[in-house]
């Protein structure tokens, strides 16, 4: 026998070894006298009488046993089993063996009930089991699950009825009759004990029969099949169209009452044949677990994008009115001890469903944040989910992983990260107003934004951008402006200020302690103030230094003569960061406003016949010309005249000026950041206007001196060529000076008659000539030349040699390709050019001073770590050291490469000897 049979035999005896077959009628064996035994004696009569009685009982019991077992024997085919009718002989034999003298009381003899139980086992093993094993031999396909369970239940119920019919009709009545006729006047406890004994025999027979049925089926396969059938029935009852088994629902509506009836009939039948119990309950629990997930995925995982409401109340209502009644129905079919659902169990299932919905929502939280506030319904669902134990930890860890995978990587632009961060602030304020979760998930975003160099520039530039200035294309995720920040700036201004010592504000009657789960870095935010979160990305001092640079650059580039947005932004930041730290910004703003007044005063004192006027600072330029008599290429030029240099004023004037105009901004150099101070020669007309402006300013301001910063200007010019006239606005001064150099100079009158030569080319200059004429840096010259080549005004005839394109050449395609490449290069160079010197420019400018200081300090004081070197430089360097430890380490690395210092390990540095 195999191991499973031995285990089974330890509880239930092996049929082939323990069962006795029905015995035939035969002559009883009365025994004989053994050798050496006396035939009789004075005391032999008594023993002989006892032996005779025993032998007589054995003979009678054998006869009754033979009659009863032949009557109770089962046929081979249970479907053709006839209904047994007992005669008087059978009835006497059954009574004798069950309740009479033939009853086995000491357990040494096999009782008739035990024999019949073994008869059922042997019959099942020989005639039924093989068919059931063949039915369950292979893995059950899902589409055949219902049929196999129905067939199994039908076979077992038919077999059980065949086994129970003789037991209930021929064995159990004698046991029950014996319980009622035990004594003439039985006491109630004795009668109850006999009745319980009869019921116990009946229960034991059913239990043994059901054990035989259950043992013949593969338990795991049966459990999985029953679980799927229950899951399939529930899916059909609740019309679930997203199932875990992959089956597609029918397109036509199904009759739910039919499936409910089929399910209950199957479960009741399985319970009757002993296939219910714990196994069925576990399969049902597994099916309900899958049902809960499938129902949430099918009906409640979609987001309500329109009404923006939570679906949690609907889910709880379904648990109460749909899920719980189904469980009660199944438990009642399985005859469980407790089929009614308690209120605590309903609450527990509602919390379980909420947890699963919340986890599904959290897995897609990044998408909901991006689509805020259309995803308000999903955020409200997660808000309900946060009440579940462990929900906050799950949300924090899951969302942090989503941010790291989808946001904090080099492929995401700073503008996009800022837009997402603002959406996170808004959505998490709705999710948890206290801000603890926002502080946790935003920590890596804030750290990552601090590391990006363009973060502060984008924030300040976006705050200064008007939403109605241009088209919305400038607010693309790849651009340099954030629409979300600009829209926050456009909201009505309110005092959202938060005091630095808010925890020590004794006058705050609404003060509350920090949340228990807040981290040490937690800062309370009373309202959803997005700009406050952005302005606190850095320490106050660092942000103000960055603000000065960007604010000053914006003031110099601003085209609005009233500076409305700049004033509003400064007031907004003063509320958040304090008035005392923004004095430099106030001075810069006052400078540009005073410049407008000074320009107007000087304009009134000028009486020039050419009607030269000083206007607002948005147009400062000169327009070089080349003579020509051909008609212009453009259909309607703005300036049809070609005999004068002209600059369009930003304010209307009675008559257009006939010559170049000049406007100036007077800056207080002490309060402004380090500005570009590139020196070069400007056109002679502009130089004359500067001198005149300077003299009139000295008269007004009491002999105060002006120092012109030509690199910060801006101008508009008109170029008149042989076959066209073109106009250009918003040019840098070096672009104007370079193109002006391609005119005939006073010392070049001998070549004044030379016109356009081969290919329509005019005057030719090389880079060396331009450097000598303009005294300009070569980088600025190359940038200006690339710009004019991109505008099809100049052509590179040979390396570093350029000529004016007086007439469009026949090789137009080649010129267009060269112009496109040059324009792209000029655009890149222009983006890298600012009016304010960058930190890298300042470091490069004073690198020699810093290098000498480090060498001297290490020579006098010995080896030092990098952090101490940075601290000493901030304290001792004249004029300050506005850099951090990273810049110091970079500088030390360059010095080590130059052989001046040496790294000793552990960030310790010393002088190389």
Cα distances (Å, whole numbers) of residue 418 to 12, 367, 464, 486, 537: 74, 16, 16, 12, 11
249-255 average pLDDT score = 65
Helix, strand or coil, per DSSP, at residue 650: coil
Residues 422-439: tens digit of each pLDDT: 999 888 888 888 778 888
- Per the CB < 8 A criterion, the answer to whether 60 and 96 are in contact is yes
Cα–Cα distance measured from residue 508 to residue 502, given in angstroms and rounded to the nearest whole number: 9
Instruction: Determine phi and psi for 718, rounding to 5 degrees.
Output: -125, 125
Assign 618 a pLDDT band (cuts: 50, 70, 90): very low
User: What's the confidence (pLDDT) of residue 497?
Assistant: 45
- Per the CB < 8 A criterion, the answer to whether 408 and 448 are in contact is yes
User: What's the confidence (pLDDT) of residue 631?
Assistant: 36
- Three-state SS string over 569-588 comes to HHHHHHHHHCCCCCHHHHHH
CA 160 to chain CA centroid, Å, is 58
Residue recorded with tokens 């100079």 = 745
Angle, alpha carbons 557-562-568 (nearest 5°): 85
pTM to 2 decimal places: 0.65
Helix, strand or coil, per DSSP, at residue 487: helix
Assign 398 a pLDDT band (cuts: 50, 70, 90): very high
Cα–Cα distance measured from residue 628 to residue 245, given in angstroms and rounded to the nearest whole number: 83
Cα–Cα distance measured from residue 580 to residue 563, given in angstroms and rounded to the nearest whole number: 22
Residues 6+ apart with CB under 8 A from 261: none
User: What's the confidence (pLDDT) of residue 44?
Assistant: 45
Residue 625 pLDDT exceeds 50: no
- Per the CB < 8 A criterion, the answer to whether 519 and 439 are in contact is yes
Assign 510 a pLDDT band (cuts: 50, 70, 90): low
Instruction: Choose the most confident range, by mean pLDDT, from 73-82, 421-430, 514-523, 705-714.
Output: 421-430
Cα–Cα distance measured from residue 91 to residue 67, given in angstroms and rounded to the nearest whole number: 10
Longest C-alpha distance within the chain, in Å? Answer: 177
**Bridge partners, residue 805, by sequence:** 761
How far separated are the first and last CA of the chain, in Å rounded?
A: 91
**Bridge partners, residue 434, by sequence:** none
User: What's the confidence (pLDDT) of residue 828?
Assistant: 58
Helix, strand or coil, per DSSP, at residue 812: helix
User: What's the confidence (pLDDT) of residue 399?
Assistant: 92
883-896 average pLDDT score = 82
The DSSP code for 521 is T
Assign 601 a pLDDT band (cuts: 50, 70, 90): confident
* DSSP letter for each residue of 692-733: HHHHHHHHHTTS------GGG--EEEEEE-SS-EEEEEEE-H
Assign 496 a pLDDT band (cuts: 50, 70, 90): very low
User: What's the confidence (pLDDT) of residue 52?
Assistant: 58
How many other C-beta atoms lie within 10 A of the C-beta of residue 32? Answer: 7
Helix, strand or coil, per DSSP, at residue 674: coil
Nearest CA to 552 among 457, 431, 442?
457
Assign 632 a pLDDT band (cuts: 50, 70, 90): very low
Adjacency order of strands within the sheet including 761-766 = 761-766, 801-805, 794-798
Residue 350 pLDDT exceeds 80: yes
User: What's the confidence (pLDDT) of residue 366?
Assistant: 92
Q: Is the dihedral of CA 371, 373, 378, 382 positive or negative?
A: positive
The b/e string for 520-542 (b: 16+ C-beta within 10 A; e otherwise) is eebebbeebbbbbbbbbbbeeee
Residue 59 pLDDT exceeds 80: yes
Residue 751 pLDDT exceeds 60: no
Q: Provide the CB-side half-sphere exposure for 738 (13 A, CA).
A: 30
User: What's the confidence (pLDDT) of residue 341?
Assistant: 78
Assign 300 a pLDDT band (cuts: 50, 70, 90): confident
User: What's the confidence (pLDDT) of residue 639?
Assistant: 34
Q: Of the given ranges (347-356, 422-431, 682-691), which has the lowest mean pLDDT? A: 682-691
Query: Helix %, strand %, coil % for the chain, to 5?
Result: 55, 5, 40
Cα–Cα distance measured from residue 877 to residue 171, given in angstroms and rounded to the nearest whole number: 113
- What are 870's two structure tokens? 């940075």
Assign 327 a pLDDT band (cuts: 50, 70, 90): confident
Residues 10-30: tens digit of each pLDDT: 566 554 444 555 555 444 454
Cα–Cα distance measured from residue 797 to residue 804, given in angstroms and rounded to the nearest whole number: 10
Q: Of the given ranges (402-416, 457-471, 532-546), which has the lowest mean pLDDT? A: 457-471
Residues 700-719: tens digit of each pLDDT: 777 677 888 887 778 888 88
Question: Is 252 exposed, middle or buried, given 0-12, 13-18 or 19+ CB atoms closer than 10 A?
Answer: exposed
The b/e string for 550-566 (b: 16+ C-beta within 10 A; e otherwise) is bbbbbbbebeeeebebb
* Dihedral in degrees, nearest 10, Cα atoms 457, 582, 589, 465: 30
- Three-state SS string over 169-195 comes to HHHHHHHHHHHHCCCCCCCHHHHHHHH
Assign 797 a pLDDT band (cuts: 50, 70, 90): confident
Residue 503 pLDDT exceeds 60: no
685-693 average pLDDT score = 83
Residue recorded with tokens 């006052």 = 590
Cα distances (Å, whole numbers) of residue 363 to 369, 397, 398, 830: 12, 10, 7, 44
Q: Of the given ranges (291-295, 412-416, 654-658, 732-736), which has the lowest mean pLDDT? A: 654-658
Tally helices (H) and strands (E) across the chain: 35, 8
- What are 539's two structure tokens? 């320490």
- Per the CB < 8 A criterion, the answer to whether 252 and 261 are in contact is no
Share above pLDDT 90 across residues of the chain, in percent, rounded to a whole number: 4
How many other C-beta atoms lie within 10 A of the C-beta of residue 850? Answer: 18
User: What's the confidence (pLDDT) of residue 253?
Assistant: 62
- What are 361's two structure tokens? 């929502």
Cα–Cα distance measured from residue 365 to residue 356, given in angstroms and rounded to the nearest whole number: 14
Cα distances (Å, whole numbers) of residue 471 to 419, 476, 501, 525: 18, 11, 43, 34
Residues 136-166: tens digit of each pLDDT: 888 888 888 888 888 888 988 888 888 888 8
Q: Is the dihedral of CA 452, 453, 454, 459 positive or negative?
A: positive
Cα–Cα distance measured from residue 596 to residue 45, given in angstroms and rounded to the nearest whole number: 151
Nearest CA to 224 among 122, 156, 117, 141?
141
CA 132 to chain CA centroid, Å, is 51
Nearest CA to 645 among 680, 611, 692?
611
Q: Of the given ranges (96-100, 300-304, 693-697, 702-706), which has the lowest mean pLDDT? A: 702-706
Residue 798 pLDDT exceeds 80: yes
Q: Of the given ranges (244-258, 384-398, 645-659), which has the lowest mean pLDDT? A: 645-659
Assign 402 a pLDDT band (cuts: 50, 70, 90): very high
The b/e string for 485-509 (b: 16+ C-beta within 10 A; e otherwise) is bbebbeeeeeebeeeeeeeeeeeee
Beta strands in 305-357 (DSSP E): none
Q: Of the given ranges (504-508, 557-561, 630-634, 843-847), which has the lowest mean pLDDT? A: 630-634
614-627 average pLDDT score = 37
How many other C-beta atoms lie within 10 A of the C-beta of residue 648? Answer: 18
Q: Are strands 901-905 and 908-911 parallel, antiparallel or unpaired?
A: antiparallel
Cα–Cα distance measured from residue 15 to residue 12, given in angstroms and rounded to the nearest whole number: 8
303-318 average pLDDT score = 86
Nearest CA to 535 among 607, 423, 449?
449
Assign 3 a pLDDT band (cuts: 50, 70, 90): low
In the chain, what are the domains? 410-467+478-491+527-537 (no CATH), 542-601 (no CATH), 684-690+708-832 (3.30.230), 839-911 (1.10.10.10)
Angle, alpha carbons 263-284-253 (nearest 5°): 40
The DSSP code for 526 is S
The DSSP code for 82 is P
User: What's the confidence (pLDDT) of residue 133?
Assistant: 86
User: What's the confidence (pLDDT) of residue 400?
Assistant: 92
- Per the CB < 8 A criterion, the answer to whether 125 and 14 are in contact is no
Residue 566 pLDDT exceeds 70: yes
Residue 861 pLDDT exceeds 80: yes
Share above pLDDT 70 across residues of the chain, in percent, rounded to a whole number: 72
Write down the mean pLDDT value for the chain: 75
Cα–Cα distance measured from residue 307 to residue 301, given in angstroms and rounded to the nearest whole number: 15
For helices 564-577 and 483-490, angle between their N-to-C axes, nearest 10 degrees: 90
Cα–Cα distance measured from residue 546 to residue 839, given in angstroms and rounded to the nearest whole number: 10
């Amino acid at each position: 026998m195999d191991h499973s049979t031995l285990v089974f035999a330890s509880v239930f005896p092996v049929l082939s070894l323990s069962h006795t077959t029905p015995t035939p009628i035969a002559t009883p064996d009365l025994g004989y006298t053994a050798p050496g035994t006396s035939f009789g004696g004075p005391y032999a009569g008594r023993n002989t009488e006892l032996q005779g009685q025993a032998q007589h009982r054995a003979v009678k019991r054998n006869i009754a046993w033979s009659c009863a077992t032949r009557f109770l024997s089962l046929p081979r085919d249970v479907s053709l089993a006839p209904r047994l009718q007992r005669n008087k002989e059978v009835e006497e034999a059954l009574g004798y063996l069950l309740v009479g003298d033939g009853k086995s009381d000491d357990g040494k003899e096999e009782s008739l009930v035990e024999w019949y139980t073994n008869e059922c086992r042997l019959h099942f093993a020989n005639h039924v089991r093989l068919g059931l094993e063949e039915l369950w031999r292979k893995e059950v396909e899902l589409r055949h699950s219902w049929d196999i369970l129905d067939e199994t239940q039908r076979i077992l119920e038919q077999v059980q009825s065949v086994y129970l019919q003789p037991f209930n009709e021929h064995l159990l009545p004698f046991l029950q009759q014996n319980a009622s006729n035990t004594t003439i006047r039985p006491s109630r406890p004795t009668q109850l004990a006999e009745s319980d004994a009869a019921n116990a025999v009946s229960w034991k027979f059913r239990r043994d029969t059901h054990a035989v049925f259950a043992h013949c089926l593969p338990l795991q396969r049966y459990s999985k099949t029953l679980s799927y059938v229950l899951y399939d029935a529930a899916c059909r009852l609740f019309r679930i169209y997203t199932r875990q088994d992959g089956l597609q629902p029918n397109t036509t509506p199904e009759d739910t009452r039919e499936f409910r009836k089929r399910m209950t009939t199957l479960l009741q039948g399985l319970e009757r044949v002993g296939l219910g119990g714990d196994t069925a309950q576990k399969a049902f629990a597994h099916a309900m677990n899958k049902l809960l997930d499938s129902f949430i995925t099918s009906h409640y995982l979609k987001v309500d994008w329109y009404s923006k409401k939570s679906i949690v109340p609907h889910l709880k209502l379904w648990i109460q009115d749909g899920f719980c009644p189904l469980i009660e129905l199944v438990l009642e079919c399985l005859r469980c001890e407790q089929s009614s659902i308690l209120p605590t169990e309903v609450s527990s299932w509602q919390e379980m469903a909420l947890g699963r919905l919340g986890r599904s929502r959290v897995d897609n939280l990044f998408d909901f944040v991006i689509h805020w506030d259309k995803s308000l319904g999903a955020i409200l669902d997660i808000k309900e989910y946060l009440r579940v134990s462990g929900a906050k930890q799950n949300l924090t860890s899951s969302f942090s992983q989503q941010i790291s995978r989808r946001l904090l990587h080099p492929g995401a632009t700073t503008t996009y990260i800022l837009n997402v961060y603002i959406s996170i602030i808004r959505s998490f304020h709705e999710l948890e107003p206290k801000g603890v979760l926002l502080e946790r998930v935003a920590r890596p975003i804030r750290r990552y934004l601090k590391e990006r160099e363009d973060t502060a520039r984008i924030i300040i530039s976006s705050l200064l951008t008007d939403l109605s200035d241009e088209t919305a294309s400038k607010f693309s995720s790849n651009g340099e402006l954030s629409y979300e920040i600009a829209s926050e700036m456009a909201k009505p201004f309110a005092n959202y200020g938060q005091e630095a010592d808010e925890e020590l504000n004794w006058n705050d009657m609404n003060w509350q302690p920090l949340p228990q789960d807040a981290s040490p870095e937690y800062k309370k935010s009373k309202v959803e103030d997005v700009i406050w979160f952005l302005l606190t990305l850095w320490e106050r001092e660092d942000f103000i230094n960055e603000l000065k640079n960007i604010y000053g650059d914006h003031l110099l580039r601003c085209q609005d003569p009233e500076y409305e947005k700049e004033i509003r932004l400064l007031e907004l930041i003063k509320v958040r960061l304090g008035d005392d730290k923004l004095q430099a910004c106030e001075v810069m703003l006052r400078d540009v406003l005073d410049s407008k007044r000074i320009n107007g005063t000087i304009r009134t004192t000028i009486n020039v016949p050419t009607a030269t006027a000083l206007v607002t600072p948005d147009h400062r330029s000169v327009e070089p010309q080349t003579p020509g008599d051909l008609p212009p290429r453009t259909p309607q030029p703005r300036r049809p005249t070609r005999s004068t240099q002209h600059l369009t004023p930003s304010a209307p004037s009675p008559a257009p000026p006939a010559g170049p105009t000049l406007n100036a901004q007077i800056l207080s150099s002490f309060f402004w950041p380090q500005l570009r101070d590139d020196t070069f020669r400007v056109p002679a007309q502009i130089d004359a206007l500067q001198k005149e402006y300077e003299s009139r300013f000295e008269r007004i301001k009491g002999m105060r001196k002006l120092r012109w910063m030509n690199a910060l200007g801006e101008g508009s010019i008109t170029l008149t060529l042989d076959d066209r006239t073109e106009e250009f606005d918003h040019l840098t001064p070096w672009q104007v000076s370079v193109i002006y150099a391609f005119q005939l100079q006073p010392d070049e009158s001998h070549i004044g008659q030379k016109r356009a030569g081969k290919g329509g080319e005019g005057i030719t200059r090389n880079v060396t000539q331009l450097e000598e004429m303009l005294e300009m840096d070569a980088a600025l010259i190359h940038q200006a030349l690339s710009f004019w080549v991109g505008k099809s005004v100049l052509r590179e005839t040979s390396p570093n040699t350029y000529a004016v394109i007086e007439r469009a050449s026949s090789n137009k395609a080649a010129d267009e390709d060269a112009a496109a490449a040059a324009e792209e290069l000029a655009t890149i160079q222009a983006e890298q050019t600012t009016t304010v010197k960058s930190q890298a420019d300042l470091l490069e400018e004073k690198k020699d001073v810093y290098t000498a200081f480090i060498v001297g300090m290490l020579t006098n004081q010995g080896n030092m770590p990098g952090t101490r070197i940075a601290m000493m430089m901030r304290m001792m360097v004249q004029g300050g050291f506005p850099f951090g430890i990273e810049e110091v380490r970079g500088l030390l690395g360059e010095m080590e490469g130059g052989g001046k210092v040496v790294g000793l390990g552990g960030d310790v540095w010393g002088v190389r000897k």
